[in-house]
């Protein structure tokens, strides 16, 4: 056997993505280069690692076992690198964070300075839906998660980072002549929803129910970005977080519609399992964010506080 770490990395990525094309893009390599390395790696085994049926690549049972071994080897090599940096007094290791979709407008600002100051830290940030965030946290696959509503079914530690404000939003041409206390807006314009289970949708539905507001035909979209574009296009109005609307409000593509009882205010929370033993890297990040969160909020989200 004379395989290289590079070949292990390529083979592992192929098994993860089930595609040479996708693996080449993920690794920033050409497709022929990935194919050549896979062939060289395969030549060291008498049993097939992969097979192509039709146009789909499949990993054989033997290939799956080799992939598991490759992952262990690469993790050990990574740990050697981290230990080398830690021995020199540097923070080194992997930091894993899962973030609800709207949190992508928040979390990078609370990571930037820490990552700049700690070159030995590798960041894995998964931006996904609320259900997946809670699942990854409950299965101990991440160090921290960012949510706007803290799940009650888990025993968690929680650190508030900043406010999350939800307003009634229409596009720049929405002409509202009614008073802020009038609910006719919900009769005049279709209401756009996030998908079921979304914290944004739950907050909006609770508000509508508490006010006994009438609603016209509803449309459902699976991300805040899609929701935002639908409102800009004039498909209707919605209640959504302010945090991702800075440029659209500034450009006049969207406007806040005053309405009694709004904004709804929650908090962006960094959460982690109560019984989790944090790694030195995660501990270092928690120390950083605990002491710097107010400075980061003031520096990057002053516009948010003005609404």
Q: Would the pLDDT of 105 be above 80?
A: yes
What is the fold of 5-85?
Arc Repressor Mutant, subunit A (1.10.10)
Residue 215 predicted with pLDDT over 80: no
Strand stretches in the chain, DSSP E = 50-53, 56-59, 92-100, 120-128, 144-147, 156-171, 191-194, 218-221, 238-241, 254-256, 264-273
When pLDDT is cut at 50, 70 and 90, the band that residue 89 belongs to is low
Q: Which pLDDT value is given to residue 86?
A: 63
Residue 178 pLDDT > 60: no
Mean predicted lDDT score pLDDT of the chain:
89
Report the CATH number of the 91-162+267-305 domain. Answer: 3.40.190.10
Rounded to an integer, what distance in angstroms lies between the CA atom of residue 94 and that of residue 281? 7
The pLDDT confidence band at residue 8, using thresholds 50, 70 and 90, is: very high
Beta strands 238-241; 156-171: pairing state: antiparallel
Classify residue 76 by burial, with Cβ atoms within 10 Å: 0-12, 13-18, 19+.
Answer: exposed
Query: What whole-number percentage of the chain has pLDDT above 90?
Result: 60
**Residue whose entry in the numeric block shows the structure tokens 């993860």:** 16
Is the pLDDT confidence value at 304 over 60? yes
Query: Is the Cα dihedral 14, 18, 19, 23 positive or negative?
Result: negative
Q: What share of the chain is helix, strand, coil (3-state, %, to 5)?
A: 45, 25, 30
Q: For the residues 32-48, what does the mean pLDDT come to?
A: 93
Topology match between the domains 5-85 and 164-265: no
Is the model's pLDDT at 183 over the cut of 80? no
Q: How far apart are CA 209 and CA 246, in angstroms?
A: 28
**181 pLDDT tier (thresholds 50, 70, 90):** very low
78 vs 292, which has greater pLDDT?
292
Distance CA 109, CA 188 (A): 38
Residue closest to 120 by CA, chosen among 164, 163, 87: 87
Mean pLDDT across the stretch 135-150?
Answer: 94
DSSP-derived letter for residue 108 is G
**CATH T-level assignment (fold) for domain 164-265:** D-Maltodextrin-Binding Protein; domain 2 (3.40.190)
Rg for the chain, CA atoms, rounded = 24
HEC-encoded secondary structure of 69-94: HHHHHHHHHHHHHHHHHHHCCCCEEE
Q: Give residue-wise pLDDT tens across range 223-259.
A: 888 999 999 999 999 999 999 999 999 999 999 998 8
Q: Where are the domains of the chain?
A: 5-85, 91-162+267-305, 164-265
pLDDT band at 55 (very low <50, low <70, confident <90, very high): confident
What's the rounded mean pLDDT across residues 2-22?
91
Averaged pLDDT for residues 275-282: 88
């Amino acid at each position: 056997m004379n395989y290289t770490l590079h070949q292990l990395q390529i083979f592992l990525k192929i098994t993860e993505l089930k595609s040479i094309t996708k693996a080449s893009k993920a690794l920033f390599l050409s497709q022929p280069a990935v194919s050549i390395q896979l062939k060289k790696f395969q030549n060291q085994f008498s049993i097939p690692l992969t097979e192509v049926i039709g146009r789909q690549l499949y990993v054989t049972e033997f290939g799956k076992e080799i992939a598991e071994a490759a992952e262990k080897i690469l993790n050990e090599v990574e740990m050697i690198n981290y230990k080398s940096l830690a021995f020199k007094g540097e923070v080194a290791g992997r930091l894993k964070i899962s973030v609800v979709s709207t949190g992508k407008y928040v979390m990078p600002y609370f990571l930037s300075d820490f990552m700049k100051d700690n070159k030995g830290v590798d960041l894995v940030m998964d931006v996904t839906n609320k259900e997946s965030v809670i699942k990854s946290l409950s299965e101990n696959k991440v160090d921290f998660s960012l949510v706007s509503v803290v799940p009650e079914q888990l025993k968690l530690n929680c650190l508030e980072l900043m406010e999350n404000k939800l307003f009634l939003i229409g596009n720049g041409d929405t002409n509202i002549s009614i008073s802020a206390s009038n609910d006719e807006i919900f009769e005049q314009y279709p209401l756009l929803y996030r998908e079921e289970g979304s914290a944004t949708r739950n907050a909006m539905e609770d508000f509508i129910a508490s006010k006994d507001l009438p609603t016209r035909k509803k449309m459902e979209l699976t991300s805040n970005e899609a929701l935002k574009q639908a409102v800009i296009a004039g498909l209707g109005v919605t209640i959504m977080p302010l945090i991702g609307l800075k440029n659209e409000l500034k450009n006049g593509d969207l406007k806040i519609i005053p309405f009694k009882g709004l904004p709804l205010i929650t908090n962006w929370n960094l959460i982690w399992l109560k019984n989790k033993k944090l790694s030195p890297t995660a501990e270092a990040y928690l120390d950083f964010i605990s002491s710097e969160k107010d400075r980061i909020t003031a520096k990057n989200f002053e516009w948010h506080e003005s609404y």
